[in-house]
Structure 1
Amino acid sequence: MSAVYKDDQEDWLTVCLKYLLFVFNFLFWVGGAAVLGVGIWTLLEKSDYSSLLASSTFAVSAYILILAGSLVVVTGFLGCCAVIREQRGCLSMYFFCLLLIFLIELVAGVLAYVYYQRLSEELKQHLNQTMTENYAQPGKEAITLAVDRLQQDFKCCGSNNSHDWMASVYISSEAAERRVVPDSCCKTITPLCGKRDHPSNIYKVEGGCITKLEQFLADHLLVIGAVGIGVACLQLAGAVLTACFIYLLYKEEEDFGTL
C-alpha cells in the first residue's frame, strides 16, 4: 500500500512540475522578449551617443542582451518540446541552455552596473575633448551628428557650458564663419545662428551637456542591468525546476526497470 502511495505521490509531483515548467516557459518567453526589446531599443535609439563615449561597454551590454534574448526564443521552444515529450536528453540540453543564458545575461547586467559606477569619471575625462577636437572634422561625421543631436535633444550647449566651444578646432577655423558655438546650440536653428551666444538665442544649461548625458546613460544602464539580472534569476529558477523534473523522470525509469 505504501509503495502504491509513493508511486502516486511521485506521479503527482511529476505532473505538477510539468505544468510549472509550462508556466515557466511562458514567463521565460516574456522575459526573453523584454531582454531582446531592451537590447534593440538601446542600440536603435541611443546608438548615436555611443560615439561620444571612450569605451564600448554601453553598446556591448546591449549586444549581449540581444544575443541572450534571441537564445531565449529558441530555448523556450526547445523547453516546451522537451517537457511534452518527457525526454531526459532534451531536458538535459534545455537545462544547460538555461545555465548558458543565465551566465550571458548575468554578464550583461554586471557590465552595465560596473560601467554605471565609472560613467561620470569617463565623461568628465573625455566628453569635452571629444566635442572640441572632433566636431565638424573630416572623418568624424558620426561624432558631429551625435553632438548636434545631444545639444538639441537635451537643450544644452557645450560639455560644461557654451564657453567650452571657444577651445574648439571647428570654431577656431574659417569653416565656422565666425560662429562662437555650433548652430545646434541655438534654441531655434537657422543658418549661422551660432554667431550670437546670447541666452535668448542659445541654450544656457547649468552643468552643460555632460550632466544631461550622464543622467540619461545612467538611467539606461540601470534598465539594462535590472533586466539582465532579473531575467537571469528567472532562468536560474527554471534550471532548478528542470533539474527536479529530470530527477523525477530518472526515478520513474529506474522504478519501472525494477518491475
Structure 2
Amino acid sequence: MLSKGLLRVLLGVTNVLLFIAGGTALGVGVWYSMDKLFIADIIGTDLFSAASYLFIFCGSCILILSFLGCSAAVLESKKLSIVYVFLLILILIVFLSAAIIAAVFQGELTSSLTGRMQTSLKQSYGNQISSNEENKRVTDSWDFAQKTLRCCGVDDSGYGIYRETQWYRDQVTRAIDLSQVNFVPESCCVYLEHRQQYQNVDLCQRNPYGPPTNPDPNTSKNDHLYYDGCMSAAKHYGEDNAGVILAIGFGFSFVLIAGIVLSILIIRKIADMNFDPVSTKVV
C-alpha cells in the first residue's frame, strides 16, 4: 500500500508533467492560430480555427489545474482534491469526445471539404478584393497555401478551376487577346526556395503548348506548374502534423488519468486520517 507521503510526491511529479503538457498544448494552439489558419480560409470552415482555440483553452485550463493539484497535495485539502479530480475528468471527457467525433466523421469531413474549397475558390478568389476584406483574406490565404504546400487548385491537375473564378473573368474582360491572359495565379508556379524566385512564371501561367492554357492534363507536361491539388496537399500536410497531435493527445490522456488515480488515493488517505471511529465498548 502506498504511503500518503509517496502519493503526494507522485502527484507532484504528475502535476509537473501536467504543467509541461498544458504548456505544450497552449504553444501548439497559439502557433496554429497565428501561422496555420490559412487552412481555415481556403476550406471555408471554422473547424481548423476551433481546433486551435480548443488547444489554447485546454492548455490554459491544464496549466491552472497543475497549480490546483499541487496546492491540494501540499495543503492536504479534501475539498480541493475533489474539485481537482472533477476538473481533470471533465477535461479528459472533452479530449475523448473530440477524438471520437473526429474519427466518426473523418470520411464525411473529407468529402465535404472538397466542395467547400471549390466554393471558396470560385466565389472569393480575386473577387473585388480592393473593396471586400473577406475576399481579399481568402485570396491571400489561397496564394499562401499554394505557395507553401506546392499545389494548385483543389483537385490534382485541377488548375482549370481558375477559369471559373472572378479573377480569370476580370482578366479576359481587360485583355486584348488570350495571349495576355494568365490561366493560373503566380502562386501555382514552381517556386525555387534556394533562389527565392519562381522557376518560370510566363510559361507557368501562359504555356502555349499545354497546361494551363489547355486544361487537358494529358497534353505536354508543364514543368513550371504545380499539378498536385491543395486538397491532397493539405491532407498530406495534416498527416505530417498528425504525429505531433497524437503524441500530445496520448501524453494528455496518460497524465490526466494518472492525476485522477493519484488524487482519488490521496482523498481516501485524507478521509481515513480524519475518520474518528466511535467506541462501541460497554462500560
Q: If the TM-score is normalised by the length of the shorter chain, which range does it land in?
A: 0.7 to 0.9
1:94-243 pair list within 5 angstroms? 94-114=84-104, 116-138=106-128, 139=132, 140-160=135-155, 161=157, 162-174=159-171, 178-187=181-190, 188-189=197-198, 193=202, 195-197=205-207, 202-205=224-227, 207-220=228-241, 223-224=244-245, 227-228=248-249, 230-243=251-264
Q: Provide structure 1 residue ranges, at least 5 long, that are not aligned to the other structure.
A: 1-8
1:64-103: CA deviation from partner (whole Å, max 9, x where unpaired): 1211110111111111111011111111121112122222
CA contact (8 A) 1:61 1:224 kept: no
Provide TM-score, normalisation by structure 2. Answer: 0.76
Alpha-carbon separation, structure 2, partners of 1:67 and 1:235? 16
Aligned to 1:4: none
Alpha-carbon separation, structure 2, partners of 1:169 and 1:115? 33
Aligned residues: percent identity?
25
Deviation at 1:218, TM superposition (A): 4.2
CA contact (8 A) 1:181 1:195 kept: yes
Deviation at 1:48, TM superposition (A): 1.1
The structure whose residues are more often helix, as a share, is 1
Deviation at 1:214, TM superposition (A): 2.1
Q: RMSD across aligned C-alpha pairs, in angstroms?
A: 2.8
CA contact (8 A) 2:37 2:48 kept: no
CA contact (8 A) 2:189 2:205 kept: no
1:185-230: CA deviation from partner (whole Å, max 9, x where unpaired): 233459x84642466674232x422211122134445643552354
Q: Provide structure 2 residue ranges, at least 5 long, that are not aligned to the other structure.
A: 176-180, 191-196, 212-220
Aligned to 2:216: none
CA contact (8 A) 1:65 1:108 kept: no
Alpha-carbon separation, structure 2, partners of 1:114 and 1:222? 19
> After alignment, is 154-163 or 143-152 more displaced?
154-163
> After alignment, is 165-174 or 114-123 more displaced?
114-123
* Distance change >3 Å, CA 61–CA 221, structure 1 → 2: farther
Secondary structure at the residue paired with 1:104?
Answer: helix
* Distance change >3 Å, CA 113–CA 107, structure 1 → 2: same
CA contact (8 A) 2:154 2:231 kept: yes
Q: Tell me the matched-pair count.
A: 247
The answer to which structure, 1 or 2, has the higher relative contact order (CA under 8 A, 6+ apart) is 1
CA contact (8 A) 1:39 1:65 kept: yes
Provide TM-score, normalisation by structure 1. Answer: 0.82
Which letter does structure 1 place at the counterpart of 2:76?
Answer: E
* Distance change >3 Å, CA 238–CA 248, structure 1 → 2: same
Which letter does structure 2 place at the counterpart of 1:180?
Answer: F
Which letter does structure 1 place at the counterpart of 2:189?
Answer: C
